[in-house]
Structure 1
Amino acid sequence: MNHSFRLPVLFLLTVTVTCCWTTDVLAQRARPTIKDRLEKDDANDDGKVSKNEFSGPDKLFERLDRDGDGQIDIEEVVGNMPVRRPETVRNSPPSSPRGVEVKRDVVFGKGGGRDLKMHIVLPKSKPSEPLPAYVWIHGGGWQGGSKEGGINQVSRIVTEGFVGATIEYRLTGEAPFPAQIEDCKCAIRFLREHADEYGIDPDRIAVGGSSAGGHLVALLGTSADVKELEGSGGWAEQSSRVQAVVDLYGPTDFSKFVTTKGFESHNRDGSPESKLLGGGEVLGNDEGIRRVNPITYIDEKDPPFLIIHGTDDPVVPANQSQLIHDALESVGVETTLKLIRGAKHGGREFHDPEIRELITTFLKKHLQPSE
């Protein structure tokens, strides 16, 4: 055989195999990259990305919106991607955002007899002093969503000198109110109990959330020491009080919500608000409306609030944020209401550098170490 012919053939085979391997590896890496991108776009953490939230081109949105319902289901899209992943990749833990370490699925208490879990996000470099904590509570109409998207929500804050956490809570398919706020309060008590372990200053805990999560963080802010909402998930000797609240377009007063023009359908049996109250039409359930409303519990000892809402929100009317802002202001609680002109229910406007800086500055201002 002509050896001068064999060498080019071997070279071509080597190049071909190498190129195929490289393409396969890049394909393997594409899957988590796309999921990370979609989770970042998922502003209200409901596990879906609307066209308004999507940061990519319209044609790509239409391709990923498999059932044509105007939303990209993150898990469905990622789960159906034609990517071959070797066992070593498939069984490895999810990667953490740059600059942070994620302790996943830490059990923080019990809800309805089962374990409740959170992800704790720590700075990679160990600080010399305890840090303030920022706890994210996901949205999803109290009936969907998960703690996963919260990792991206808190990671940027963690790199600014915080410890982060993103928590689960029982959804309405499992239990109606007050299960949701009981679980959130249990998470705060757990972090306070384990402050030394995670390098947290127990006197500096802030909460943030969007949509249904915005409602729950507002309720955390106003219902400290309200025993009927504490639950029995654990760490009863600790307080669930928080020191600052970032409320992104959360509902407050359901009676005003469902009578706002264009939002009357939220009154019907089976709406997210109805499910939270345990079923039936919202109007007429006066006690339920009172109990879930963060405004009910407001007093002058409440922590400072930063409230952000889009003026064109088609899911939660902006009057919900105006109502709680006015009520807090009336008793002398420090509150800032930022209405984003033309913004809807989440979306790109809420990722604007100005809004991110507003949140970071608010948290740093109100979680300074005590002298």
Structure 2
Amino acid sequence: MNHSFRLPALFLLTVTVTCCWTSEVQAQLERPTIQDRLESDDANDDGKVSKNEFSGPARLFERLDRDGDGQILIREVIGNMSVRRPANDRNLSSRSPRGVDVKRNVIFGKGGGRDLKMHIVLPESKPSEPLPAYVWIHGGGWQAGSKEGGINQVARIVAEGFVGATIEYRLTGEAPFPAQIEDCKCAIRFLREHADEYGIDPDRIAVGGSSAGGHLVALLGTSGDVEELEGSGGWPDQSSRVQAVVDLYGPTDFSKFVTTKGFESHNREGSPESKLLGGGEVLGNDEGIRRVNPITYIDDDDPPFLIIHGTSDPVVPANQSQLLHKALEDAGVENKLHLIQGAKHGGREFAAPEIRDMITTFLKETLQDPE
């Protein structure tokens, strides 16, 4: 009798073990990796995570901060990790967030004679009608950072009925201003030219960015079709205008920035602001300060802005966002300034549910509501 039940019992045991193993593998594939968490915490997309930005336990931060300088360098952590990877997942770093399809390294134009690339983030299910787009521009003082962290930034917006994109632009080690804004404008023109291919409504394109990226999206918002900033990267028949701007703690007026108490060092040659202007001290370069300032180009035809800044930001003073807010108000441009009391330069306060909801609501109300 025992033999008559051996095969079914073995079969049931095999099925049970297989199901458990499959569930465990699936759970591991869906669980965020350390890289996912670090890229999500990297609020200004400079490739580093500070103690203030880190959302995990303090003891883990100390383990990952190998040289004890108070910063986790993401590429070093990922390079040092020994990860057991499933056979069907050879490159965890190229895995897409759940619910989206990422078209990686799409060439969108030329900058300084080389190809410029973006990642395009699409909903997994093809929509029946064109969707608004949300384009993320990374920070890093115009001298560091990459488009990689932007995938997570736009994925949650894509889930709300958008197409997303995260772009590269020339950093100051390669070229000074206006190379950065020229590349950003080229990306917007590319998306308009290829709107049908990617299911985008060309009349509904929003941009978002943090720190240096916040500066560039503000400049996109106020300088639409300003010829001196367009560049020659491609798609000249298309407009570079955008229809909504999410500016997270971006610089604006360098003359006020570098004379704010506690920020005087930014006036020195070699500061990020100096490098953007092409070198030398910031003060005295009046024309350079004018050209990089989004406030210079404001008029009453500019799109709605959502501006968010921490009151205790030690990198970019909050007066930069306050100046932009006032100038937009004076021009009659719809905008909202939200100051986060005690928040610094990025960090967990900017990933709080109420802030993420504020950004999502702004984008949906601005670009999804029927006219």
**Would you call these one fold, judging by a TM-score over 0.5?**
yes
The answer to whether the aligner puts 1:300 opposite 2:308 as a matched pair is no
Q: Which amino acid aligns with 1:296?
A: T
Corresponding position of 1:72: 72
Match of 1:59 in 2: 59
CA distance in structure 2 between the aligned counterparts of 1:86 and 1:310, rounded to whole angstroms: 42
What's 1:228 paired with? 228
Over 3 Å counting, the alpha-carbon distance change for 1:125 and 1:85 in structure 2 is: closer
* Matched length: 352
Per the TM alignment, residue 332 of structure 1 is displaced from its structure 2 partner at its CA by 0.3
Q: Deviations over 1:255-294 (max 9, x none)?
A: 0000000001101100000000001111111110000000
Preserved CA contact (<8 Å) 1:135 1:206: yes
Distance 1:87 1:113 in 2: 39
Cα separation, 1, equivalents of 2:30 and 2:62: 19
Name the structure 2 match of 1:3. none
Is residue 338 of structure 2 the alignment partner of residue 335 of structure 1? no
2:35·2:93 contact (CA, 8 Å) conserved in 1?
no
Preserved contact between residue 139 and residue 210 of structure 2 (Cα < 8 Å): yes
Alpha-carbon distance in 2 for matches of 1:266, 1:367: 37
Task: Output the CA distance in 2 between the equivalents of 1:45 and 1:296.
Answer: 26
**Structure 1 runs of 4+ with >2 Å offset:** 28-32, 82-93, 368-371
Write the mapping of 1:169-248 to structure 2, written as runs, cut at 5 A.
169-248=169-248
Following the alignment from structure 2 to structure 1, what is the Cα–Cα distance between the partners of residues 86 and 152?
26
Task: Map Cα deviations across residues 118-137 of structure 1 (whole Å, 9 max, x no partner).
Answer: 00000111111100000000
CA distance in 2, matches of 1:344, 1:273: 19
Q: Which amino acid aligns with 1:37?
A: R
AA matched with 1:271: S
- In structure 1, give the amino acid aligned to 2:210: S
The answer to whether the Cα contact below 8 Å between 2:206 and 2:242 also exists between their aligned partners in 1 is yes
Q: How does 1:279-290 map to 2 (within 5 A)?
A: 279-290=279-290
Contact 1:143 1:272 in 2 (8 A): yes
Which moves more between the two structures, 334-343 or 28-37?
A: 28-37
Following the alignment from structure 1 to structure 2, what is the Cα–Cα distance between the partners of residues 62 and 72?
9
Q: Report % sequence identity.
A: 86
Segment drifting more, 75-84 vs 106-115: 75-84
CA distance in 2, matches of 1:282, 1:219: 19
Deviation at 1:67, TM superposition (A): 1.5
**How far, CA to CA, are the matches of 2:88 and 2:303 in structure 1?**
47
Deviating more after overlay: 309-318 vs 359-368: 359-368
The alignment status of 1:252 with 2:272, answered yes or no, reads: no
Listed as ranges, the matches of 1:56-135 within 5 Å are 56-83=56-83, 89-90=89-90, 94-135=94-135
SS in 1 for 2:94: coil
2:9 corresponds in structure 1 to: none
Segments of structure 1 that go 5 or more residues without pairing to the other structure are: 1-17
CA distance in 2, matches of 1:46, 1:222: 25
TM-score normalised over the length of structure 1 = 0.90
**CA separation in 2, counterparts of 1:137 and 1:160?**
19
- Give, in angstroms, the shift of residue 365 of structure 1: 1.2
Instruction: Write the distance in 2 (CA, Å) between the matches of 1:176 and 1:93.
Output: 30
**How far apart in 2 are the matches of 1:237 and 1:30?**
43
Equivalent AA in structure 2 for residue 185 of structure 1: K
Residue 346 (structure 1) aligns with: 346
Q: CA deviation at 1:68?
A: 1.5
Match of 2:151 in 1: 151
Structure 2 CA distance for partners of 1:30 and 1:50, relative to 1, 3 Å = farther
Report the secondary structure of 2:33's partner residue: helix
Deviates more, 1:52-61 or 1:84-93: 84-93
Measured after TM superposition, the shift of residue 81 of structure 1 is 1.6
Kept in 2: contact 1:31–1:81 (CA 8 A): no
Higher mean displacement: 174-183 or 77-86: 77-86
Unaligned runs of 5+ residues in structure 2 are: 1-17
Q: Structure 1 200/86 Cα, relative in aligned 2: closer, same or farther at 3 Å? A: closer
Q: Which residue pairs with 1:262 in the alignment?
A: 262
Hey, what does 1:35 align to over in structure 2?
35
CA shift, 1:82, in A, is 3.1
TM-score normalised by length of structure 2: 0.90
Contact 1:135 1:165 in 2 (8 A): yes
Q: 1:31 to 1:112 in 2, by over 3 A?
A: farther
1:90 alignment partner, SS class:
coil
Aligned 8 A contact 2:249 2:321 in 1: yes
Deviation, 1:96, is: 0.9
